[in-house]
Amino acid sequence: MAEAGGSEVVWRPTKDYAERSRLARFMRSLGIGSLEELQRRSVAEPEWYWDAVVRDLGVRFTHPYTKVRDVSRGLPWPRWFEGGRLNFADNCVDRHLDGGRAQQPAIVWEGDDGRSRALTYQELSREVNQLANALKRLGVGEGDRVGVFLPMSPEAAIATLAVVRIGAIYTPCFSGYGAQAVASRLQDCEAKVLVTADGFYRRGQVVRMKETADEAAAASPSIEHVVVYKRLGREIPWTQGRDHWWHELIGKESGQCPAVDVDFDRPCLIIYTSGTTGRPKGAVLTQGGFLVKCAHDFGYLMDVGPGDRLFWLTDLGWLMGPMLITAALFHGGTAILFEGVPDYPKPNRLWSLVERHQISVMGLSPTAVRALMPHGAEHVHAHELSSLRVLGSTGEPWNPEPYRWLFENAGKARLPIINYTGGTEISGGILSSFPIAPIKPCSFTGPIPGMAADCFGDDGRPVRGQVGELVVTAPWPGMTQGFWKDPQRYEETYWSRWKDVWVHGDWAYVDEDGFWFIQGRSDDTLKIAGKRLGPAEVESVLVSHDAVAEAGVVGVPHEVKGEAIVCFVVLRPRQQPSEALRSELSDLVARQMGRALKPERVLFTRDLPKTRSAKIMRRVIRATYLGKEPGDLSSLENPAAVTAVREAV
């Protein structure tokens, strides 16, 4: 996608649009006239910047802070807002009751089966407090860990807020995990309680969540209690004394529960990311850091404010799930939670969701867009989408065709696509587009204010016009406090290549106009005959062909070139694999990328292995192709895709 650097600007904010944005208002309050000046000063004067941010956002401290930043322990281990105390749930719920929003909708949920439910801030407060009291009665105290294994439901938001309200720590688990994946997380964090459901629907089929939870709990000696939300009302196995119905527990409890004020840097969640090998890494995020970084990014980048209806196609087990809940509630908006999938029972489901719930800010991944495209744009145009103000995107690099499809059909070529990239350990983003700046297709305007991001070459110096490592050279609020009980692994993962430099693991490219592009994970990189490129560049060429729905590209050892390109291609409906099509696709890559980059093989597959956040797991494809052990597969949304790749080989 480096070639995309020369492409044209597709969206420019009108003067009125830009001036009305929260980011522009914030800049005016600081007396700053340009985005470039804001970014420069935010990095040069981090104490000034983050102090201004928490004041502008209205973060509620129960005890004032005395110092914004302390890096005396070294850049990997900063302390933020020292002396300051607050509570995450107080900022997301109680603050709005005090501010007169008690009767406004806080959460609107729609299930796979079409059922819907809404909670006002007042109702959310009561249910959070009741569950918080119930957890305390089960012995959960400050610092204890609670596993949350739930579908994307109001109960997912209630459970996470109840846990942090009493100063405990939650570990979210992807709703599609198998027992071993859940157990590995519960074991690592030594969770005392597991909160789950009897089941939920996905594509009309029952997902037996309780049975999975039972198996995970049986393998996790620290689990003392299992709290079960009755979503389906079906018959489930029951362990007397250990298992408790959610509704019975909260029915005995008061709707009042004081929020425990904690230090800004007190852990609030441990969220696990899959490693290439070994056990998953538990990133520790803090009450204040996660709150401030998430509120900052969604407030200033996505322009979320009071009354907005925020929706992201996600799951609680991916950080975008907690971020969706946090951002909507902190800003006094409404979190739209969706249990289903975007094309069930009909291909128009996502667009009908936008119309039905009057969503104003919607986020989804490029893979989700690619999956919707074959159904046709008529499903988009059949719905009234005028409530939309902003489209958001994260999870992986774009290809130009699906980007334009979303921009022109869902956005009617008038809405910005706020492209946003960061990671679990970031508590949000590193690079983004902005509602006050021009946008090129597939691009990022640049580093987010407060993020000292750069693009480094192999020598550890900044590069432009060529692919380099995405790095951050100073800490920020929200930065993980390391991996749970494994500080050395954290330092080795992010801080070991260059002194005092966070190496994120993504390839970046900055074009001649200063726009940034992400080229994929640096461990996915191809190096063919001395030329280094991201797999997304080749994938973009392949999906530009009318017959191709998706593509996954990997590099494999080659005795002459060092590495050769192997392409796995998913065809559109009614397209058939053939030798002629194989040659056509291979020639297309060679023609557009250069003869030296002609693929070694083009293979047709039914599916590509992806995470729930829709990232293509290229390391799994590569390992399967080479007949090697693919490593940790716990975050796979579609494990059968590994078999499909193996069959293609």
Write the CA distances from 439 to 467, 515, 517, integer angstroms.
20, 8, 12
Alpha carbon 334 to its chain centroid, in Å, reads 18
Q: What is the mean pLDDT of residues 187-210?
A: 97
**Are the CB atoms for 554 and 535 separated by under 8 Å?**
yes
- Count of all residues that appear for the chain in the document: 649
In whole angstroms, give the CA distance from residue 312 to residue 628. Answer: 35
Give yes or no for residue 4 having a pLDDT over 50. no
Q: What is the mean pLDDT of residues 463-467?
A: 93
Superfamily of segment(s) 531-648: ANL, C-terminal domain (3.30.300.30)
Residue-wise pLDDT tens digits, 253-310: 999 999 999 999 999 999 997 644 456 789 999 999 999 999 999 999 999 999 999 9
Q: Are strands 446-447 and 601-604 parallel, antiparallel or unpaired?
A: unpaired
Residue-wise pLDDT tens digits, 129-169: 999 999 999 999 999 999 999 999 999 999 999 999 999 99
In whole angstroms, give the CA distance from residue 642 to residue 633. Answer: 10
Q: What is the mean pLDDT of residues 471-485?
A: 97
pLDDT value of residue 297: 98
- Reference 302, options 433, 477, 450; nearest CA is 433
pLDDT value of residue 278: 53
Record the pTM: 0.87
Give yes or no for residue 491 having a pLDDT over 60. yes
Percentage of the chain lying above the pLDDT 90 cut: 81
Look over the chain and give the mean of its residue pLDDT values, rounded to a whole number: 93
pLDDT value of residue 180: 83
Give yes or no for residue 586 having a pLDDT over 50. yes
**Burial track 335-361 (b if 16+ CB lie within 10 A, e otherwise):** bbbbbbebbeeebbbbbebbbebebbb
- Reference 22, options 303, 328, 329; nearest CA is 303
- Reference 351, options 376, 311, 383, 373; nearest CA is 383
Give yes or no for residue 396 having a pLDDT over 90. no
Give the model's confidence band at 530: pLDDT under 50 very low, under 70 low, under 90 confident, else very high. Answer: low
- Reference 542, options 616, 489, 487, 469; nearest CA is 616
Give the model's confidence band at 531: pLDDT under 50 very low, under 70 low, under 90 confident, else very high. Answer: low
Q: What is the mean pLDDT of residues 60-66?
A: 98
Percentage of the chain lying above the pLDDT 70 cut: 96
Give yes or no for residue 5 having a pLDDT over 70. no
Q: Structural domain boundaries of the chain?
A: 531-648
In whole angstroms, give the CA distance from residue 623 to residue 626. Answer: 5
